[in-house]
């Protein structure tokens, strides 16, 4: 009977995966459907399943940070956040795309290192703030930007956020990757504290900052070379 239940559960979850892939539903919806199917297969009633969802979200309240940040960012954007950001960088003479993005990457790494991964991100900061400031800095360096160059600057802003998050979050002790590595090594009899993994993530984060910083410096040089010459 237990084997039949397991096979039925696997079949249901496989069916959900196929439906999600075919209809391109959101991954979070797929996770909810799989959890509901698992609960029904375990003999739980709908109210118990709903209560389990509520308890999980309540115990992980840090997940709701993004839902607090996004409306605030949207409200600020509606009142001209992008325009004010562009105006601010335009007043800072000598500011370059590389310098600004390097500073943002340092901030992103620092926030991720203390577990604040949802405070910044593509939706929260890159689209409404970082990308417009980077575009304004590029215009100050190279004059008017064509569509290709403008999209390139946006891509650099998004990539900088990704790199800062990826190499900063591993410094945080309670991040999922650290706990996963610890659990995997313990299965083979290797005892390792999360602090040890976190400490060894610091040199990697520094190296990532230096390497990407060098790439941003090269971006500044390319923009400077493409700038129109001032008429004598």
| pLDDT value of residue 212 | 95
Counts for the chain of helices (H) and strands (E), in that order: 10, 0
Q: Can you tell me the mean pLDDT for 54-70? A: 54
Residue 84: both structure tokens together? 């004010």
At 204, the pLDDT band (50, 70, 90 cuts) reads very high
**Which of 39-48, 104-113, 190-199: highest mean pLDDT?**
104-113
Please give the mean pLDDT across all residues of the chain: 75
1 pLDDT more than 50: no
Pick from 147, 23, 10, 131: nearest CA to 82? 131
Sign of CA pseudo-dihedral 145, 149, 155, 157: negative
Decide: 53 and 35 in contact? Cβ < 8 Å.
Answer: yes
Q: Which distant-in-sequence residues (6+ apart) come within 8 Å of 162 by Cβ?
A: none
Pick from 157, 165, 115: nearest CA to 136? 157
77 pLDDT more than 70: no
DSSP 232: -
At 156, the pLDDT band (50, 70, 90 cuts) reads very high
At 196, the pLDDT band (50, 70, 90 cuts) reads confident
210 pLDDT more than 90: yes
Q: How far apart are CA 230 and CA 67, in angstroms?
A: 47
Report which of residues 103 and 17 the model is more confident about. Answer: 103
CA 104 to chain centre: 13
| pLDDT value of residue 58 | 52
Report which of residues 227 and 150 the model is more confident about. Answer: 150
Q: How far apart are CA 103 and CA 160, in angstroms?
A: 10
Q: Which distant-in-sequence residues (6+ apart) come within 8 Å of 36 by Cβ?
A: 49
At 138, the pLDDT band (50, 70, 90 cuts) reads confident
Decide: 171 and 144 in contact? Cβ < 8 Å.
Answer: no
3-state secondary structure 73-126: HHHHHHCCHHHHHHHHHHHCCCCCHHHHHHHHHHHHHHHHHCCCCCCCCHHHHH
Q: Can you tell me the mean pLDDT for 57-77? A: 53
**Which of 57-61, 129-133, 148-152: highest mean pLDDT?**
148-152
Burial class (CB in 10 A: 0-12, 13-18, 19+), 98: buried
62 pLDDT more than 50: no
Report which of residues 175 and 225 the model is more confident about. Answer: 225
12 pLDDT more than 80: no
Q: How far apart are CA 30 and CA 14, in angstroms?
A: 11
Which of 5-9, 117-121, 182-186 comes out lowest in average pLDDT? 5-9
198 pLDDT more than 60: yes
């Amino acid at each position: 009977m237990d084997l039949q239940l397991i096979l039925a559960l696997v079949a249901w979850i496989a069916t959900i995966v196929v439906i999600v892939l075919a209809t391109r539903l959101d991954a979070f919806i797929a996770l909810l459907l799989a959890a509901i199917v698992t609960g029904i297969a375990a003999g739980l009633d709908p109210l118990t399943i709903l209560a389990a969802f509520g308890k999980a979200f309540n115990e992980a309240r840090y997940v709701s940070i993004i839902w607090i940040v996004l409306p605030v960012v949207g409200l600020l954007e509606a009142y001209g956040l992008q325009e004010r950001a562009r105006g601010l960088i335009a007043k800072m003479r000598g500011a370059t795309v590389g310098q600004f993005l390097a500073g943002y990457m340092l901030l992103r790494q620092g926030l991720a290192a203390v577990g604040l991964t949802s405070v910044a991100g593509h939706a929260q900061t890159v689209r409404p703030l970082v990308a417009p400031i980077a575009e304004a800095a590029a215009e100050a360096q190279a004059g008017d930007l064509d569509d290709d160059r403008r999209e390139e600057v946006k891509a650099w802003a998004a990539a900088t956020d990704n790199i800062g998050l990826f190499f900063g979050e591993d410094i945080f002790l309670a991040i999922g990757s650290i706990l996963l590595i610890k659990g995997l090594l313990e299965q083979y009899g290797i005892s390792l504290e999360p602090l040890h993994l976190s400490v060894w993530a610091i040199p990697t984060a520094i190296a990532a900052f230096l390497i990407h910083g060098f790439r941003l410096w090269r971006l500044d040089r390319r923009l400077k070379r493409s700038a129109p010459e001032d008429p004598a």
